[in-house]
Amino acid sequence: MNRIGIGSRWWRSSCFSGPNTTRRLSATRTLRIPDNGLKKKKVTDGEVARLAGRPLHPLTLADLAKSGRPPLSTEQLLDSANFTLSILPSRLAHRIQSLRNLPFIVVANPNVSKIHNNYVHSLSTLLPYASKEIKTLEEEIQFTSVMADLVQTHSNTISILARGFLEARKYISPNEVTKFLDEHLRARIGTRLIAEQHIALHFSSKPHLDLSEQDSHIDSTYIGVIDTKLKPVDIIRHCEGLVGDICEFKYGVRPSVVIRGEAETTLAHIPMHLEYIITELLKNAFRATIEKGNERHPIEVTIAPTPEESKGKPDGITNYDQGSVDAASASQRPANAASANIRPLDKSTPGVTIRIRDRGGGIPPAAYAKLWEFGFTTFNEQEIVDITSGGTNDGDGLNALSNAGGAENSLAGLGYGLKLGRAYAEYFGGGIRVQSLLGWGTDVYLSLRGVGNIK
């Protein structure tokens, strides 16, 4: 018997690591699957075209939490599996189609080709389940192993694509790269999140819990990977320590962080996403402050909950926010009608705005104009060559924090960190705005929307 995954690959949840671990579910259990591994079905061009022809709908946090609070019953767990199965195959097919519509010389790049093959592989493991409903726990266990394989297979997608497009940058314009990656990476967020949510719910369900552990889940604030009482201040302090340690090691100094506003604010959101965003924003603020020689001035972080009178005003999530416009696949008809599975964002959803203010001298106009371009970087040509060829040049040390699956997959200097952070923020109706005062400093406003009230 193997643990969850294929061959020697084991899956252990990373969605419970980080701050507030005392409130998170235990993820040390492993799922055992039969020795024959995962079933596969050949992916044909016709199947890809059929699935890619289905419209994609925006996904809300409420959809991911619809199964209810853990521990889930068998019926709730099977509902989660079937909901996951109902939306993932078409999402994978859209990504395959979008990659195939790139210029041939770009698709032929070994890194881009690898990502294409990864998506084909994942779709081939889903197709055996796509034409039926998951009705037994045995089928659910097998399906969860497919989800674990999907997460593992695509863990390095961002870094591999980054290198592929850098190597092929002579054959595709920066605007085309930005348009493709903005859509592709936003769509990837949803695909990975849907799979991770079911895996987490699997381990927190009654059928797969040890009886001695069930009581520990009753008062948990988690529903899968969603913390329904997430405190941004805890994430900020955790990320401050991480970035500060790197600064102190590399530069011998570490700016301090002063938190203002309402530190006890909570909302329902995904800690993994917020940790990535805050790390990127603090990394930029710390670097600018040190380079300006203003480390004696603290970085101010202000936490402001959304006022009651404005909670109903945002329009919610758009197809663009989640990469569901899918212009790259040339097959998408944007969905206007709501799916039975997709619910609009709760108008009473609580939210929060986090302002990060530094005295780092601001952003030069030339850099400010390219702030949201994928691939915009201050690295020179030789440093880019070192990165794409597997060298160890990581610029200034802080870039080591920009990775997607380990040190060997660093996004250091590739110009993806801030853009990906904004994609995470916008995915569920939030956003990032940057205001720079040249010669003085920069204010970054991160807004987040939660899931609303879950009973």
Per-residue model confidence (pLDDT) at position 306 = 84
Domain span holding position 384: 226-449
Q: Give the pLDDT mean for 111-140.
A: 95
What secondary structure does DSSP assign to 147-183, as a single string?
A: HHHHHHHTTTHHHHHHHHHHHTTTSS-HHHHHHHHHH
Are 275 and 239 within 8 A, CB to CB? yes
Last residue of a domain, one of 198, 220, 242: 220
Q: How would residue 212 be classed by pLDDT, with cut points 50, 70 and 90?
A: very low
Say if residue 137's pLDDT is above 60.
yes
Domain membership flag for residue 20: yes
Say if residue 398's pLDDT is above 80.
no
Domain membership flag for residue 454: no
Beta bridge partners of 431: 447
Per-residue model confidence (pLDDT) at position 175 = 84
Per-residue model confidence (pLDDT) at position 146 = 96
Last residue of a domain, one of 181, 203, 220: 220
Q: Give the pLDDT mean for 332-354.
A: 54
Q: Higher-confidence residue: 140 or 29?
A: 140
Which helix (H) or strand (E) covers residue 376, if one does?
A: none
Per-residue model confidence (pLDDT) at position 289 = 95
Say if residue 411's pLDDT is above 90.
no
Q: Give the pLDDT mean for 407-424.
A: 64
Residue 157 tokens read as: 């997608």
Is 202 in the same domain as 285? Answer: no
Is 232 in the same domain as 325? Answer: yes
Domain membership flag for residue 455: no
Which helix (H) or strand (E) covers residue 302, if one does?
A: strand 299-305
Per-residue model confidence (pLDDT) at position 368 = 87
Q: How would residue 181 be classed by pLDDT, with cut points 50, 70 and 90?
A: confident
Q: Give the pLDDT mean for 281-295.
A: 94
Is 295 in the same domain as 175? Answer: no
Q: How would residue 284 be classed by pLDDT, with cut points 50, 70 and 90?
A: very high
Is 154 in the same domain as 231? Answer: no
Q: Give the pLDDT mean for 73-87.
A: 95
Cβ-based neighbour number of residue 46 at 10 Å? 8
CATH of the domain at 445: 3.30.565.10
Per-residue model confidence (pLDDT) at position 109 = 96
Per-residue model confidence (pLDDT) at position 369 = 84
Phi, psi for residue 81 in degrees, rounded to 5: -65, -45
User: How confident is the prediction for the chain on average, in pLDDT?
Assistant: 78
CATH of the domain at 117: 1.20.140.20
Q: Higher-confidence residue: 110 or 18?
A: 110
Is 211 in the same domain as 239? Answer: no
Q: Higher-confidence residue: 405 or 416?
A: 416
Buried (b) or exposed (e) across 236-270, using 16+ Cβ within 10 A? bbbbbebbbebbeebbeebbebebebeeebbbbbb
Per-residue model confidence (pLDDT) at position 209 = 74
pLDDT tens-place string over residues 244-261 = 999 998 889 999 999 999
Domain membership flag for residue 41: yes
Per-residue model confidence (pLDDT) at position 350 = 76
Q: Higher-confidence residue: 377 or 51?
A: 51
Cβ-based neighbour number of residue 36 at 10 Å? 7
Amino acid at 399: N
**H helices within 11-156, ranges in order?**
45-52, 61-64, 74-100, 104-107, 110-130, 137-153
What CA–CA distance (Å, rounded) separates 16 from 26?
Answer: 8
pLDDT tens-place string over residues 417-448 = 888 899 999 988 899 999 999 999 999 999 99
> Backbone dihedral region of 346: left (phi > 0), alpha (psi from -120 to 50 degrees) or beta?
beta
Per-residue model confidence (pLDDT) at position 292 = 94
Say if residue 3's pLDDT is above 80.
no
Per-residue model confidence (pLDDT) at position 453 = 53
Strands 226-230 and 267-269: antiparallel
pTM of the model: 0.81
Number of structural domains the chain divides into: 2
Phi, psi for residue 25 in degrees, rounded to 5: -75, 150
Domain membership flag for residue 295: yes
What CA–CA distance (Å, rounded) separates 415 from 323?
Answer: 19
Is 371 in the same domain as 437? Answer: yes
Say if residue 243's pLDDT is above 80.
yes
CA 92 to each of CA 55, 59, 207, 279: distance values in angstroms, whole numbers, following the listed order? 12, 15, 29, 29
Is 176 in the same domain as 283? Answer: no
Say if residue 264's pLDDT is above 50.
yes
Is 180 in the same domain as 123? Answer: yes
Q: Higher-confidence residue: 217 or 3?
A: 217
Instruction: Give the residue from 304, 255, 288, 221 showing the smallest Cα distance to 21.
Output: 221
Q: Give the pLDDT mean for 167-176.
A: 88
Say if residue 164's pLDDT is above 70.
yes
Say if residue 378's pLDDT is above 50.
no
Is 125 in the same domain as 231? Answer: no
Instruction: Give the residue from 257, 140, 283 showing the smallest Cα distance to 199.
Output: 140
Q: How would residue 199 be classed by pLDDT, with cut points 50, 70 and 90?
A: very high
Are 308 and 51 within 8 A, CB to CB? no
Last residue of a domain, one of 220, 236, 265: 220
Residue 38 tokens read as: 């995962």
Is 275 in the same domain as 257? Answer: yes
Is 289 in the same domain as 216? Answer: no
Q: Give the pLDDT mean for 101-120.
A: 96
Is 17 in the same domain as 87? Answer: yes
Cβ-based neighbour number of residue 337 at 10 Å? 7
What CA–CA distance (Å, rounded) separates 345 from 65?
Answer: 13
Q: Which of 75-79, 344-348, 355-359 has the lowest mean pLDDT?
A: 344-348
What CA–CA distance (Å, rounded) separates 125 from 133?
Answer: 15
pLDDT tens-place string over residues 89-98 = 999 999 999 9
